[in-house]
Amino acid sequence: MLKRYTAGARLYDVLSGERLVYRVGRVAGIDALQPGRGDIVLDLGCGTGLNLPLLLDRVGAEGHVIGLDRSPSMLAVARDRVRRNGWANVSLLEADVLLLDPAEITSIALREGGRPRVDAAFSSYAMSVFDDWMPAWELLRSVARPGARAGIVDMALPTGAAAVFAPLARLACAAGGADITARPWRAPEREAANAEHTVLRGGHIHVVTGTLP
C-alpha cells in the first residue's frame, strides 16, 4: 500500500481525478467543517496537501494546520507546496496513524498553538485507505478538544442513475487502495452532535461533519 503512494506521489494531484471528481468533496467538507480563525486543525492522511490552502484560508495566519501521513513521498509534495506558498503555520508529520502515539500530535498543538488539543479534525479520501479506520477515528477523538469540529469525506459506490459509473468508481478506489465499502463517516454520524451528511457525485462522495461531545 505504501508503494502505491510512493511511486505515484508526484502525479497524484493530476491522476487522482481531483479536478473532475474529487475536489468538490474536499471543498464541501471544509465548508461544512467550518474551522474558525485561529483554530488548530488536524488533517489525517493529508497526502500531497490538497486540503492545505482551503484549511489555511479558514484558520488564517493565527491558526495552525497539522498534516499527518505515512508516505514520505506524498509528504515531500506537501512540503514543496508549503515552501512554494511560504506558509509558516503548517506542521507535517510522517507517521502511521495506526501506530502513532497521540502525544506526538498534542505536543505539536501545544508548541505551535499554545494548547494541547485540536479545534477541528478532518480526513478526506484517506480513512478508507487506512488498513483499519476505527483506530484512526479513536486517535482523532483523543486529540480533539470537547466541542471540536470533525469532518470526514470519503467514497462509496454511486447509486441510482449514477450507478452506471460504479465500475469507474470501483477502479478509482482499487487504484488508490481504498475500501469502497468502508463508510468511515458512520463514526461522526454516530458520535457527533448535529451531524450533517451531504452526498455528492451520484452517491460516490459522502461528506459528514459534526461537533464532538
Ligand X SMILES: C[S@@+](CC[C@H](N)C(=O)[O-])C[C@H]1O[C@@H](n2cnc3c(N)ncnc32)[C@H](O)[C@@H]1O
Q: Closest separation between CB of residue 55 and ligand X, Å?
A: 11
Q: Closest separation between CB of residue 106 and ligand X, Å?
A: 17
Instruction: Please say which residue, 125 or 185, places its beta carbon nearer to ligand X.
Output: 125
Q: Closest separation between CB of residue 161 and ligand X, Å?
A: 26
Ramachandran quadrant class, 184 (left: phi over 0; alpha: psi -120 to 50; beta: rest) = alpha
Smallest CA-to-CA distance from 156 within 190, 205, 207 is with 205
C-alpha cell at 175: 487504484
Instruction: Please say which residue, 176 or 210, places its beta carbon nearer to ligand X.
Output: 176
Alpha helices (runs of H) in 86-198, residue ranges in sequence order: 102-113, 133-143, 166-176, 186-191
Instruction: Please say which residue, 90 or 129, places its beta carbon nearer to ligand X.
Output: 129
Q: Closest separation between CB of residue 15 and ligand X, Å?
A: 11
Q: Closest separation between CB of residue 125 and ligand X, Å?
A: 4
- Cβ contact 50:26 at 8 Å: yes
C-alpha cell at 39: 483554530
Instruction: Please say which residue, 121 or 194, places its beta carbon nearer to ligand X.
Output: 121
Q: Closest separation between CB of residue 73 and ligand X, Å?
A: 8
C-alpha cell at 165: 459509473
DSSP bridge partners of 42: 66, 121
| Sequence letter at residue 185 | W
d(C-alpha 58, C-alpha 52), whole Å: 10
Instruction: Please say which residue, 148 or 173, places its beta carbon nearer to ligand X.
Output: 173
Binding site for ligand X (CB under 6 A): 5, 26, 45-47, 50-51, 69-71, 74, 96-98, 124-126, 129-130, 176
DSSP bridge partners of 64: 40
d(C-alpha 185, C-alpha 188), whole Å: 6
Instruction: Please say which residue, 5 or 192, places its beta carbon nearer to ligand X.
Output: 5
